[in-house]
Amino acid sequence: MSRPEPFGIGVIGCGNISNQYLKNLTGFPDVAVLICADVDAGRAKAQAAAYGVPEWGSPDDALAHPGVQLIVNLTVPAAHAEVSGAAIAAGKHVWSEKPLTLDVETGRALLAAADAAGVRIGCAPDTVLGAGLQSARRLIDSGGIGTPLTALTLLQGPGPQSWHPDPEFLFAPGAGPLFDLGPYYLSVLATLFGPVRQVAAIGRRPLESRVIGAGPRAGTAFTVAVPTYVAALAEYAAGQAASLLFSWDSPLSRSGFVEITGTEATLAVPDPNRFDGDLRVRRAGEDEWTIIPAEGAAAGRGSGVVDMVRAISDGRPHRATGEMALHVLEMMAAIERSAVSAAFEDVTTRFDMPEPLDAQWDPYVTAH
């Protein structure tokens, strides 16, 4: 049987994170990056040269490229809706970096447009497809912790102003610890528990301004527009409960903490911002953690694109869907609203639980 042609990819947005994507996507055999594009032509040209991509150009060049079947949208969050919308209008499938869009209504409209055009949307984070979280999913599905009941997540630290040279956007609407890092933690729980029914939260903004700590603008003060401490409760549609903390108001840094407690054991899941990491299980009646090595591929960013193109070829659902990303976005918006209303807020969007990946799944080994 002859091997099908690799799926044609156009990358729009050639900034920081494009390095990880281009390194991986140019090595995965089921896809071929055909063009790098950016509003800044110099960046597109440089990234095409650095990663051996045959063409570079403007976003319109990528959309008009006849071989491109899927656009990987790595632009800044404020441009996600426009770029993904243009790709859909051009009849291309879309993989978007997170967040899907800045607000829920725009995200809903984007999914509807994709549906109407008969193309698919996938969305980061694809860390949920890494060996660490997929091993956790398989362990839970096999009854390894009994019935899963609750989750506890923790992300705290002093905030990115200490090291980021231009941190203002991380303290503006659409960011803060909840919107910037929440997608990693909330997507893990979505993958393990399914959709959430309602949330409640307390938000605090103890510092109205902060000072840049690194780079050429070090010492410059800027305004903090969003809560930098968010403590939330979530009730899942299937009945599980979660306590979640997202804080940039702590001198003590602790992150990557996700614990799932079931009727028979507590499972410490690896850092949701990584693709690898072992599992730790503390069974009822035991005083020590049992280490369970993660099994599977930890190939990094772009894994979700490979799952998506294989799913399109096979005519089955992909895993990191736009529907799940929209749900996570709605959940974060509801948490933010609850911090103001001091009431529980409903979350109404739903998504189909993705199938777990086999331990043998590997984006470097062609599926055909």
Residue 38 touches ligand NAD, criterion: CB under 6 A: yes
Q: Which is nearer to ligand NAD, 79 or 312 (CB)?
A: 79
Residue 17 touches ligand NAD, criterion: CB under 6 A: yes
- Rounded to 5 degrees, φ, ψ at 12 are -110, 125
Q: Tokens at residue 339, please?
A: 């911090």
Question: DSSP 3-state assignment of 107?
Answer: helix
Residue 12 touches ligand NAD, criterion: CB under 6 A: yes
Q: Can you tell me which of 74, 119, 188, 297 binds ligand NAD, judged by CB under 6 A?
A: 74
For 38-103, where are the E strands, in sequence order?
55-57, 70-73, 93-96
Binding segment toward ligand NAD, per CB under 6 A, in 1-9, 32-40, 48-56, 346-354: 32-40
Q: Can you tell me which of 92, 98, 120, 137 binds ligand NAD, judged by CB under 6 A?
A: 98
Distance CA(177)–CA(161), nearest Å, equals 12
Distance CA(60)–CA(297), nearest Å, equals 34
Give the DSSP letter string of 188-250.
HHHHHH--EEEEEEEEE---SEEE--SSTTTT-EEE--S-SEEEEEEEETTS-EEEEEEES--
Q: Which is nearer to ligand NAD, 39 or 292 (CB)?
A: 39
Distance CA(85)–CA(121), nearest Å, equals 10
Binding segment toward ligand NAD, per CB under 6 A, in 12-20, 106-114, 197-205, 291-299: 12-20
Residue 107 touches ligand NAD, criterion: CB under 6 A: no
Q: Which is nearer to ligand NAD, 74 or 267 (CB)?
A: 74
Q: Can you tell me which of 6, 8, 10, 13 binds ligand NAD, judged by CB under 6 A?
A: 13
- Rounded to 5 degrees, φ, ψ at 209 are -145, 160
Minimal distance, residue 80 CB to ligand NAD, in Å: 6
Residue 79 touches ligand NAD, criterion: CB under 6 A: yes
Residue 187 touches ligand NAD, criterion: CB under 6 A: no
End-to-end distance of the chain based on CA atoms, in angstroms?
9
Q: Can you tell me which of 11, 14, 133, 308 binds ligand NAD, judged by CB under 6 A?
A: 14
CB-CB contact of 209 with 224 (8 Å): yes
Task: Report how many residues bind ligand NAD under the rule CB under 6 A.
Answer: 21
Residue recorded with tokens 């656009």: 71
Task: For 91-124, give one letter per residue: b (16+ CB within 10 A) or e.
Answer: ebbbbbbbbbbbebebbbebbeebeeeebbbbbb
CB-CB contact of 198 with 346 (8 Å): yes
Residues in the chain: 368
Minimal distance, residue 9 CB to ligand NAD, in Å: 15
Q: Which residue is nearest to ligand NAD (CB)?
A: 15
Q: Can you tell me which of 23, 43, 197, 205 binds ligand NAD, judged by CB under 6 A?
A: 43
Q: Can you tell me which of 25, 35, 83, 212 binds ligand NAD, judged by CB under 6 A?
A: 83
Residue 77 touches ligand NAD, criterion: CB under 6 A: yes
Binding segment toward ligand NAD, per CB under 6 A, in 7-15, 251-259, 264-272, 281-289: 7-15
Q: Which is nearer to ligand NAD, 29 or 256 (CB)?
A: 256
Binding site for ligand NAD (CB under 6 A): 12-18, 38-40, 43, 59, 74-77, 79, 82-83, 97-98
